A and B are shown apart, each in its own frame.
Chain A
Amino acid sequence: MKKKLLIIIAIGILPVISLAQISSNSCDDAETASPIIGNTVYTVDGFDGTAVSTSCSTTGIGTHGEWYKYTPTSDMYIYITSELSQNFNVAGGNNSHDTFVHIFTGTCSNLSCIAGDDDSGYQDTSRTGFSVAANETYYIAWDNIWDSASFDFKIVEIDTDLMITFTNSTINAPGLDRGVVDMNGDHLDDIVSINSTNITINEQQPNGTFSSTMYSTDGIYSASWSMAAADYDRNGYTDLVYGNSSGAHVLKANSDGTAYSVAATSHSVFTQRTNFVDFDNNGDLDIFLCDDVAPNEYFINDGTDLTLWEGDDPNAPIAEGLGLYPSGGNYGSIWIDYDNDGDADLFIAKCGGEPARRQNELFKNNGGLSFSDVSVNTGMDKVLSTWSSAWADFDNDGDMDCFVGSSVSSEPHVFMTNRLEVPLDGNGNPIDGGPLFEDTTSTALPEGFYSFGHENVPYDFNNDGYVDIFSNGNMLINKGDGTFVVYSYNTTNPDYEPREGAVGDLNNDGFLDIFDSGRIKYNDLNNDNNDRNWLKIALDGTSSNINGIGARIVVSSPSFNSNATNKSQIRDVRSAEGFAYMSSLNAHFGLGTDTSADSVTIYWPSGTVDVIVNPTINQTLVVTEGETLGLPSTASDDMILFPNPTKQFLNVNMNVIGSERAIYTVFDITGRRVLNNRLLSNTIDVSMLSSGNYILRIINNGKINTQKFIKQ
């Protein structure tokens, strides 16, 4: 019997093709029927066809099958999936339609299995992926062994050149796998694993091999919940911070990197995400500790000592606190520059408990240890149980967007698009009245992405110039048009594919790899099997922190620049991404098929700007702070300051307002950055400065203008 037609109505902006299609009752019937096509939802409306004669799974064979024919027009990767929301929670409790599928090639008289799946999808749905060849015919047979009810499915097609796969390789790394980060200053990513009394570092050698050394520590807390890394004492060897539910500590490398000893400890924090960041912008890295059950804690680095503060201590130096909810709920802190004003802001992924406890938080860094809670104004105050978020300029429009990865199936993932490009008022809020971040989940994220967990990190794994998101065993592949397609790894495979881990370049080939569960997952893409190019940038700070954490790096290339549809690519240097792991401190840029780059601009946290013109690509570019002449200057009379001297305000007469990236910075006579912000109005408040001589610098559209002024 032929099945009735189903008309799918496209909703929203995504171009969903809607076609009517019916299942066939046998392979022979399917052979003469119209083939089904990709990215279209079809309904299997009950079972009365012929069962398969050969099972493509160990599950067996049911009494009936429903058949389809699929003939791709080009080589590509596809997966066939019933992991669609309409198939979930239909059989009471946590049960979906219990689907089962076989896929064959060949002729109906001589079918051969190429894939089959029972329950790889969410709940009891099916999902199986494989490469397909152009004009080859594939027969899809759904099987009723568990369930004869109607359900929906679709074929998701992924262009072969978007695909990101990995190959497993073992390495001797005893302990908790925690880091992929340069530990010895050679800018090659090393592998860090932690035991209770020792640290194992697999040092990457120039030839891609690893040299493993175990170092003793006097640490007392395990690295159970997270680790972050940076050279906070600037001795050339990377230090670590990690902890567990009873406390956290800073493990400082000695002068030749042969021992790690406890330099500072919190016995009170229930550690979650840890970060190194210079949030007071004095040139020395501070440390942030997320607390699961209490207000967050932080160490302030004055250049000599680390001083621990509990966030709710009435004497704490950050009066506003950084996440003061009494019972905590702080899981994934990440320091990002969401407002392009040149300093590190804080987003906290929150989880568990009553809605107020799991309401995510965004804090704007005002400088001078002053922070504002901008969660509500910016629209980032979602009530969503999450352990981490991934921040990057996913749409290449010059600002950081955010994927908040849910940890619970009842609260969907959220994708937030930054709208810094719209006109803003003097407080940095869009004048259209909407929040700075627009919830674009429904258009950006693919349907059928129902995998949840702790780890969400943003990297361009296929070097196409569009940042992807690695999320709990799934790759959200950025298609470059504001949308993602999801590829789910088979994490139950004995040679299992990546589930989560630290990210870096573990064979220095410019394609990012993953250290997961004590194994290296090497990216299958390399310089010989595709035409993509890349650039890695490693920073050596001088007046800024030595790792350049907090720096904004901008890379312009022929396809990615201010005149192109895709603006120049941007990265923030961060310690760390995701929830538990420490990923590379080298900034990695895929350049797509661009065979050159025009410039690399580094906005250091100190205020220094370095510009490297026409850098050699497909290499690691090491930039020492201040080594270049920086941005070109405009004629000084382009900008008029008044009054000068001033007691309170400086008026700036310059046509910069509303421009793409106008930032003002005030330096004192020693060259230290004392004020920094986006220039959103003609007036700069300098009332908080002490009397003396200062230099005002304005960066506007890639040029700088500096003028002296006197504060009375």
Chain B
Amino acid sequence: MFHKHTYLLKVLIPLVALMASCSDDDRYIGVVPEQISPVIFNIDSLPYTNLSTYNFFEGNMSNLDPVYGVLPYDLNSSLFSDYALKKRFIWMPKDSSATYINDFTSFDFPIGTILIKNFFYNDVLPNMVTKLIETRLMIKREDDWTFANYEWNDTQTEAVYTSDNKFVNFDWVYKGEPKNVNYKIPGISECFTCHNKYGTPLPIGPKPQNINRNYSYEDGSKNQLAKWVEQGYLKDNFPTFINSLVSWSDETQPLDLRIRSYFDINCAHCHSDESYCEYAPMRFAFNETEDLSNLGVCVESIFYINPDISYVVKPQDIDNSALYYRLNSNQDQYKMPLIGRTLKHEEGVKLIEEWINSLNTDCD
């Protein structure tokens, strides 16, 4: 199946936008030209060698300006990836849409869905420029998701498919201070390690609880779920109330919601039943963390770190809390998350310290 870019389409877009405002008017139904996404999607040829082949973006590709049908989205709470900034998009083939399962499970996406996640840094030294590092795709094919990673070239004109681990070393300015990162582009095996349950690949971010938020679209701010319905990407059969994550960095939110939102997106994909680290007792998914013992509070730490640490989380005692030690460590054999970071997430560690110090359970 091919969706070809046409010249006519570009001409029609302003007209469509105008008509959309009159969509209540029956007279226009039937004459609105159907927009066709120019994304090139040949399921038998995926993954393409070059990112540009998909035609997700128009103009200079590094500007990440999406073509029609490639919808930007954001998450309430997002994963820390060595301070990389992220721009996410979703695309689906014509006449297909996702279905709501529950608040805490990724939507049931139709075949052909592509999740597009771009990783970049601003203020990269020496020239204080924006540098795109990689673009990760998850493509729904038949019953399975396929992972495809694209590494951006130095001139930022193209990104090329890679399935192996790669390191990109550079300096950038973060909060006014220069920082270095030896950024790791994960190989396919590492992608799968986090993105699976029962050995079946799965997306992590696009769950109703994490999509349920407003986004500033070009035509104004709108709830993402409503926008997806409007775009035809989501069936309108989900509940009005969705128990949702908050932005973990939003200090106006209650601390317990912030920390549970942080743990959900950073930890829950491995610390779940039949996932990579199912054998540790913690369960970090948002829907399971009202029970503090699932966060390791007053739970004995099984794996030895040092003689001072006997609990996963000991209230008001970060030095006796394995969870804090692991989030605060950059040593490969101790650090958490195990995959996806080489730098310490200072803001995350601070949040965890604040949370541990706020707990008043007595473990004795």
Tell whether A pairs with B: yes
Interface residues of A (CB under 8 A from B): 59, 93-95, 98, 118-119, 122-123, 146, 222, 224-225, 244-247, 267-268, 270, 291-294, 326-328, 351-358, 385, 407-411, 452-454, 472-473, 491-494, 496, 499-500, 517, 580
At the interface, yes or no: B290 with Cβ under 8 Å from chain A?
no
Q: Are B304 and A409 in contact (CB under 8 A)?
A: no
* Cβ contact of B279, chosen from A59, A352, A496, cutoff 8 A: A352
* Cβ contact of A408, chosen from B184, B193, B279, B333, cutoff 8 A: B279
Q: In the complex, how many residue pairs between chain A and chain B have their CB atoms under 8 Å apart?
A: 106
Q: Are A356 and B199 in contact (CB under 8 A)?
A: yes
Q: How far is the CB of B4 from chain A (nearest CB, A)?
A: 36
- Decide: A244 near B302, CB < 8 A? Known: A267-B165, A408-B280: no
Tell me which residues across on chain B come within 8 A of A245, comparing CB atoms. 332, 338-339
Tell me which residues across on chain A come within 8 A of B164, comparing CB atoms. 267-268
Q: How far is the CB of A374 from chain B (nearest CB, A)?
A: 23
* Interface residues on chain B, number (Cβ under 8 Å): 36
Q: Are A225 and B165 in contact (CB under 8 A)?
A: no
- Ranked 3 nearest A-B pairs via Cβ: A224-B332, A408-B279, A385-B279
Q: Are A225 and B332 in contact (CB under 8 A)?
A: yes
* Cβ contact of A472, chosen from B275, B280, B293, B304, cutoff 8 A: B304
What are 26 contact pairs spanning A and B, CB under 8 A?
A: A118-B364, A222-B331, A224-B333, A225-B332, A245-B338, A246-B165, A246-B167, A246-B184, A247-B165, A267-B165, A293-B190, A294-B189, A327-B196, A351-B279, A352-B277, A353-B276, A354-B274, A385-B279, A407-B303, A408-B302, A409-B302, A452-B302, A453-B302, A454-B303, A492-B310, A580-B333
- Decide: A268 near B187, CB < 8 A? Known: A225-B333, A245-B332, A491-B304: yes
Could you tell me the distance between the alpha carbons of A491 and B303 in the complex, rounded to whole angstroms? 12
Tell me which residues across on chain A come within 8 A of B184, comparing CB atoms. 246
Interface residues of B (CB under 8 A from A): 164-165, 167, 184, 187, 189-190, 192-193, 196, 198-199, 274-281, 291, 293, 299-300, 302-304, 306-307, 310, 331-333, 338-339, 364
* Cβ contact of B304, chosen from A146, A354, A385, A473, cutoff 8 A: A473
- Decide: A93 near B291, CB < 8 A? Known: A224-B331, A327-B192, A352-B279: yes
Tell me which residues across on chain B come within 8 A of A291, comparing CB atoms. 189
Of the candidates A293, A473, A517, A580, the one having the most CB atoms from chain B within 10 angstroms of its own CB is A293
Q: How far is the CB of A473 from chain B (nearest CB, A)?
A: 7
Q: Are B279 and A492 in contact (CB under 8 A)?
A: no
A454's closest neighbor in chain B, by CB?
Answer: B303
- Decide: A407 near B279, CB < 8 A? Known: A270-B190, A293-B190: yes
Could you tell me the distance between the alpha carbons of A118 and B167 in the complex, rounded to whole angstroms? 49
Q: How far is the CB of A380 from chain B (nearest CB, A)?
A: 19
The secondary structure that dominates the B interface is loop
Q: Are B293 and A93 in contact (CB under 8 A)?
A: yes
- Decide: A327 near B302, CB < 8 A? Known: A146-B364, A353-B276, A493-B307: no
Q: Are B276 and A122 in contact (CB under 8 A)?
A: no
Could you tell me the distance between the alpha carbons of A95 and B292 in the complex, rounded to whole angstroms? 13
Known: A146-B364, A409-B302. 14 other contacts (CB 8 A): A94-B299, A118-B364, A119-B364, A224-B333, A244-B333, A247-B165, A292-B193, A326-B192, A352-B275, A353-B275, A410-B279, A452-B302, A492-B307, A499-B304
Tell me which residues across on chain A come within 8 A of B310, comparing CB atoms. 492
Tell me which residues across on chain B come within 8 A of A328, comparing CB atoms. 189, 193
- Decide: A357 near B165, CB < 8 A? Known: A293-B192, A409-B281, A473-B304: no
Tell me which residues across on chain A come within 8 A of B274, comparing CB atoms. 353-355
Could you tell me the distance between the alpha carbons of A473 and B338 in the complex, rounded to whole angstroms? 25
